[in-house]
Amino acid sequence: MKKSPISETQLTRGPLLLTHAMNAAQTVSLGIFINVGSRDEAASQSGMAHALEHMLFKGTRRHNVDALAEMLDRLGGTANAFTGRERTCFHIRVLREDWQEALGILCDMVQEPSLPEDEWQRERQVIYSEMAMAEDVPEDWVFDQHVEALYPDQAIGRPVLGSRQILATFDRKHLLSFLNTYYRPPNMLIAAAGSVSHDDILSFLQARDWPDGKAVGARALVQMSEGMQCLPRDDEQAYFVGSLPGIDAASTERPVAWLANQMLGGGMSSRLFREIREKRGLAYGVGSHLSALSNTGAWSISGSTDPEKLGECMHVLDDVLGDFSASLNPSEFDRAVRQLEVSIRMSMDSCDANMMHLGNRFDEAEILPQDAWVAQVRAVSMQQVRDWAEMQLARPVLWTCSGPSAALDGLATGLG
């Protein structure tokens, strides 16, 4: 039996450590995952996790903001971070001989950030600019409006960036309190992939002190809306997003759902692309995707079209979704299996992709290596995909459409 390249150790009074051995790699990808995101914020904290994502690059107890930036640049790799609805991650990729210095920097950033008040006053303006950029990009704006309507009056539906009004109330004391509460074990996972020893990283982490934090509480069950949301907006294109219930992050149905999504809108040979772009020329880009969280998920379709063609485009979408499960054929099924296998196997060569894969451990009892997922995808039958898609596509959908008012006329009553 082939030995898994993945190793795992729970430190006593410390973070969970996972590594993926890639002995031939020249680099190491390191990540510190925090099991907290915008969904876990109180209304008065909206945008706090994202604000901390910015501020942890503004210096540590030992190094000011300029020294920290110079250290990261000197390593010559890539350092970045992201905030989601349930997860925040700080990550870096460096040459394998530099892993210890890089991991030390990441740990200092998360454990001992300086959070200078003057830097926060400046960085808040940067986040305001980020908000303005998102509002100026129609796809981003429509998606944010869609998610808020999909999960009305729920934390999961609030923008990850928060709001200008709430951000204006934050100061260093608020940021530090949130960090000391959540950016600690048991909400912390450290992941590494590349040419590095699990035991070496374990010894490195055991030599540090790890103060306890407060475990993120059980996440509330969500309620998803349905219907048609029309948003007048004077753009050159009309935009549409539709979502229906999908799968959660640890669902045993993942391989089936992945295949269904691949055939529906996962590439240039997908149903949506062929019917809406290739056959009718109604849109430049159209596709579908699955978004999975700890206890909920959505299957979404999105794209854009000429405002005068929005009504036609929505009816074609309705026809494609209505006919999809019954008309699946072996050739497109085999093609989707191949596409997913190629995608998964290609990711196995990437230190970054393998490291990010380890971060899913928050949602699962065990992290399987990617070749195990290839085997599961290959084991799915077309009938399983047909049955799953038929069940899912019979569930209620929320559509959000934006564009000039004239393009939205007649859409309010929904589809079908």
Residue 290's pLDDT is 98
159 — phi, psi (to 5°)? -60, 140
CB distance 281 to 274 below 8 Å:
no
pLDDT of residue 333: 98
Residue-wise pLDDT for 158-187, tens only, equals 999 999 999 999 999 999 999 999 999 999
Domains and CATH numbers, the chain: 6-206 (3.30.830.10), 227-408 (3.30.830.10)
**β-bridge pairing 78-83 and 6-10:** unpaired
pLDDT tens figures, 328-357: 999 999 999 999 999 999 999 999 999 999
Q: Measuring CA to CA, which residue among 69, 112, 108, 74 is closest to residue 94?
A: 74
At 414 the pLDDT is 46
Q: Tokens 């050159």 appear where?
A: 236
CB 348 within 8 A of CB 354: yes
SS3 315: helix
pLDDT digits (tens, 9 = 90+) for 26-71: 999 999 999 999 999 999 999 999 999 999 999 999 999 999 999 9
pLDDT surpassing 70 at residue 20: yes
Which residue from 145, 143, 127, 155 is spatially nearest to 42, judged by alpha carbons?
155
For all residues of the chain together, what is the average pLDDT? 95
With 80 as the cut, is the pLDDT of residue 413 above it?
no
Integer angstrom CA distances of residue 153 from 27, 43, 89, 150, 297: 44, 10, 26, 10, 17
Mind listing the pLDDT tens digit for each residue in 59-97?
999 999 999 999 999 998 789 999 999 999 999 999 999
Please tell me the predicted confidence (pLDDT) of residue 104. 97
DSSP string covering 145-199: HHHHHHSTTSGGGS-TT--HHHHTT--HHHHHHHHHHHSSTTSEEEEEEES--HH
Mean pLDDT of 143-155: 97
Examine the pLDDT at 2 and tell me if it is beyond 90: no
Burial per residue of 292-318, b for 16 or more beta-carbon CB atoms within 10 angstroms, e otherwise: bbbbbbbbbbbbbbbbebbbebbebbb
The answer to whether 92 touches 105, Cβ cutoff 8 Å, is yes
Summarize pLDDT for 213-249 with one digit per residue, the tens.
888 888 999 999 999 999 999 999 999 999 999 999 9
Give CA 10 to chain center in angstroms.
25
pLDDT at 76: 86
Distances (CA, A) of 131 to 50, 128, 163, 167: 12, 5, 8, 11
Asked if 360 and 294 count as a contact pair (C-beta separation under 8 A), the reply is no
Q: pLDDT band at 412, cuts 50/70/90?
A: low
The token pair that represents 393 in the structure block: 């596509």
pLDDT of residue 280 exceeding 50, the answer is yes
Cα distance between residue 282 and residue 309, in whole Å? 7
- Reported as a single tens digit per residue, the pLDDT across 354-376 is 999 999 999 999 999 999 999 99
* Helix boundaries (H) for 56-115: 65-75, 99-111
pLDDT, mean of residues 296-322? 96
Rounded distance, CA 220 to CA 24, Å? 44
